[in-house]
Amino acid sequence: MRRLSLGTLLTLVNVGLVIAAVVCVVLAAAGLLRRLADEQALARVGLAGSAAAGAVERAGGELITSARLLAERPTLSRLIQERDAPGLQDLLGRFRRTGRLSGCAVLVDGVVLARDGGAIPWDEIARPPHDPGYRFVAGPRRGTPLVLGAWSAVPSAPQAGVAVALVLDRDFTMALTRQAGLPVAILNRADALQEAPQGSLRSRVLDAEEPIAERLDEAGLYLSVQPLRAPGGEVAGLVETSLPSAGALPSQRRFVRSLVLIALVVGGLAALSSVLFARRLVRPLEALQGVTARIGLGDLSTPVPRVPGAEIGALASTMEEMRGHLLHLTAELRRRQAEAEAILTGIVESVFSVAGRGVSRRTAGGGDRPLLRRRPESAGSRGGAPLRGTLPHRARALPRQRPRQRGPAAALGRAQERRDHQRSGGGRRQWRSGGRGRPLRLRPAVPGDAGRDRGRGDAPPA
C-alpha cells in the first residue's frame, strides 16, 4: 500500500476538518433557525389568541351596555305597559340593527313578549340568577356556535326585563380573524372534545384552564388555544388561533440555501488556504529530504539550503553542521587510507624485488647452491637503491619445470619454495648490505665467508 506524503496528509486533514466544521455549522444553524421560526410562530399565534379572547371579552362588555341602554328607554316602558308586541318588535329591530346585535327580546314574568333576531335560546339567557355581566350559552344543537348574552331589568317595570344576544358565529370569527391577522375559531366545550389532531391540546387547556401554544406536526399547524372565561371564572369555551407550518417553510429553505452557499464558499476558501499552507510547509521538508538523500549517496559537497521557519531552519542548520563533520571525517579517512596504501605498496614491492632475484644451481662438487639470476626488471628497495646479484662464472640457471606464474601470490609462493630448498641443504644465501645509498649485493656462500661477514657486521637474514 502506497504511503501518503506529508503534504497530502496535511491537505486531507485540513480539508476534512473544514468540511466537518462547515457541516456542523450548517446543521446547527438550520436547527437554530427552525427553533427560532417555531418560537416566532408560536409567539405569533399566542398573541393572536390573546387578542381574540380579549375581543370576545370586550364584546361581552359592550353587550351589557347595550342591554342597559335598551332597558332605560322610556318608549320601551310605555310599550311594555300597553303590551304592544308589534311596537316592541319594531323598537327591538331598530335597536338590534343599530347596535349590530344578533337578537333582542323583551320578557315579562319569564315569558317572551317580543323579540327580534334568529333562533336564540332566550330562556337560558333570562334564566335566574340575573347576575350582573354577560354569560355564554351553548346552542341547542351540537356544532352550533356559542351565544353571548346579557340581561337587564326594566326600571319602570320590575316584572319585565330585556335580553340582548350576540352569536359567535362565522361572521364574528371572520371579524376577529381580520383583527388578529390569523385564523380564529371559537368552540364550546362539547365541540372541543371531539376527535381531531387538536383534541389532546384542547383537553389539556380545559383541564388546566391555561392557554397553551404548540406545534402540531400531524396537523401541520402552529396552534394556540385560549380558554373563554365567563365573568364568574368558569370556562365556557375555547378560542383557537392557528398558523400553517408550511407557510414558514419557504423562508426557512431560502435561509438554509443561502447559509449552505455561504458555507460552501467559506469552506472552499479555507480548503484552498489549507492546501497552500501545506505546500508551503512541505516544500522546505522536501528540499531537506533531497539533501539527505544526496548525503546518503556520498555527495558531501552540496551544501544544505537555508529554509524558512524556526524549527525547520534549526533542522537545516544542524544538517549543515553534520555535513561538515562528515566531510572532515571522510577527508581524514582518505588521507590515512592513502598513507596506509603507500606503506603497504612499498613493502610488497620490496618483497617482490628481493624474492624474484633468487635462483639455485647444482655445483660440480656435488651440492646445490642458491644463486641469483638476472631479471629484466629491477625494483628499488625501501632505501631507494636497486638490488643486484653477482653470479660466479660456473653458475648456470635451473631449467623451468613449469610455466612461471605472475602476480604477488605467485612471487610469494616461489620465494617460499626457494627458502624450503635452502633449508633442505641446497645451499644458503648470505645477504650483504652495501650501506646507506649503496646497492645490496647477494652472492653464494663459500667456506670462510661467515668469519668475514661477522667481521664486517653483516648477518644472514632470519
**pLDDT, tens only, 348-370:** 888 878 776 653 333 334 444 44
List, in sequence order, every beta strand (DSSP E) within 97-190: 103-108, 111-117, 134-137, 147-154, 157-167, 184-188
What stretches of 72-164 show up as alpha helix (H) in DSSP?
74-82, 85-99, 122-125
pLDDT score of 424 more than 70? no
Q: Is the pLDDT of residue 454 over 50?
A: no
In total, the chain counts a number of residues equal to 462
Residue 42 has pLDDT above 70, yes or no: yes
Are 375 and 390 spatial neighbours (Cβ–Cβ below 8 Å)?
A: no
- CATH superfamily of the domain spanning 6-249: PAS domain (3.30.450.20)
Residue 376: is its pLDDT beyond 80? no
- Cβ burial of 240 (10 Å; 0-12, 13-18, 19+) is buried
Q: How far apart are CA 161 and CA 105, in angstroms?
A: 9
Choice between 66 and 424, residue whose per-residue pLDDT is larger:
66
Range with lowest mean pLDDT among 68-77, 81-90, 164-173, 349-358: 349-358
Pairwise pLDDT comparison (409 vs 144), residue with the higher score: 144
Evaluate whether 146 touches 236 at the Cβ level (below 8 Å): yes
Q: Give me the pLDDT at residue 425, please.
A: 54
pLDDT band at residue 248, thresholds of 50, 70 and 90?
Answer: confident
Question: What pLDDT, on a 0 to 100 scale, did the predictor assign at position 127?
Answer: 79
Mean of per-residue pLDDT scores for the chain = 76
Listed in sequence order, the residues at least 6 apart from 411 whose beta carbon sits closer than 8 Å to its beta carbon are 351, 352, 355, 356
Q: Convert 286-324 to b/e letters by CB count within 10 Å (16 or more is b).
A: ebbeebeeebeeeebeeebeebeeeebeebbeebeeebe
Dist CA 180 CA 173 (whole Å): 10
- Given a cut of 80, is residue 413 above it in pLDDT? no
Lowest mean pLDDT among 46-55, 218-227, 432-441: 432-441
Distance, CA of 359 to CA of 418 (rounded, Å): 8
For residue range 7-21, list pLDDT tens digits in order.
777 778 877 888 888
Residue 104: per-residue pLDDT: 92
Cell numbers 398573541: residue? 47
Could you tell me the residue ranges of all domains in the chain?
6-249, 300-346, 356-396+405-456
The stretch 269-294 carries a mean pLDDT of: 80
**Cβ–Cβ under 8 Å, residues 213 and 201:** no
pLDDT at 47: 92
> 164 - beta bridge partners?
104, 150
The pLDDT value given to residue 241: 92
Cα separation, 236 vs 147, in Å, equals 10
Burial degree of 453 (CB within 10 A; 0-12, 13-18, 19+): middle
pTM: 0.56
Cα 18 to chain centroid distance, Å, stands at 6
- Top pLDDT among 351 and 430 is at 351
Mean pLDDT of 145-171: 87
432, 458 Cβ separation under 8 angstroms = yes
Is the predicted pLDDT of residue 421 greater than 60, yes or no? yes
Tell me if 105 sits within 8 A of 114, measured CB to CB. yes
CA distance linking residue 72 with residue 95, whole number of Å: 13
Q: Which residue has the cell 446547527?
A: 28
Are the beta carbons of 236 and 148 closer than 8 angstroms? no
Percent helix / strand / coil, the chain, rounded to 5: 55, 20, 30
Q: How far apart are CA 421 and CA 401, in angstroms?
A: 15
User: Is 116:96 a contact under the CB 8 Å cutoff?
Assistant: yes
Q: Quick one: what percent of the chain has pLDDT higher than 70? A: 74
Provide the edge-to-edge strand list for the sheet that holds 429-431.
387-389, 440-444, 429-431
Q: Which residue has the higher pLDDT, 61 or 410?
A: 61
Of 38-42, 319-323, 325-329, 376-380, where does mean pLDDT reach its minimum? 376-380
Q: Which has the minimum average pLDDT: 197-201, 294-298, 343-347? A: 294-298
Long-range pairs, 309-312, Cβ under 8 A, ≥24? 309/284, 312/284, 312/285, 312/288
Q: Under a CB-based contact definition with an 8 Å cutoff, are residues 15 and 249 in contact?
A: no
Residue 424, exposed/middle/buried by CB under 10 A (0-12, 13-18, 19+)? exposed
- Mode of pairing for the β-strands spanning 429-431 and 387-389: unpaired
Burial class, 445, CB count within 10 angstroms (exposed 0-12 / middle 13-18 / buried 19+): middle
| Higher pLDDT, residue 128 or 380 | 128
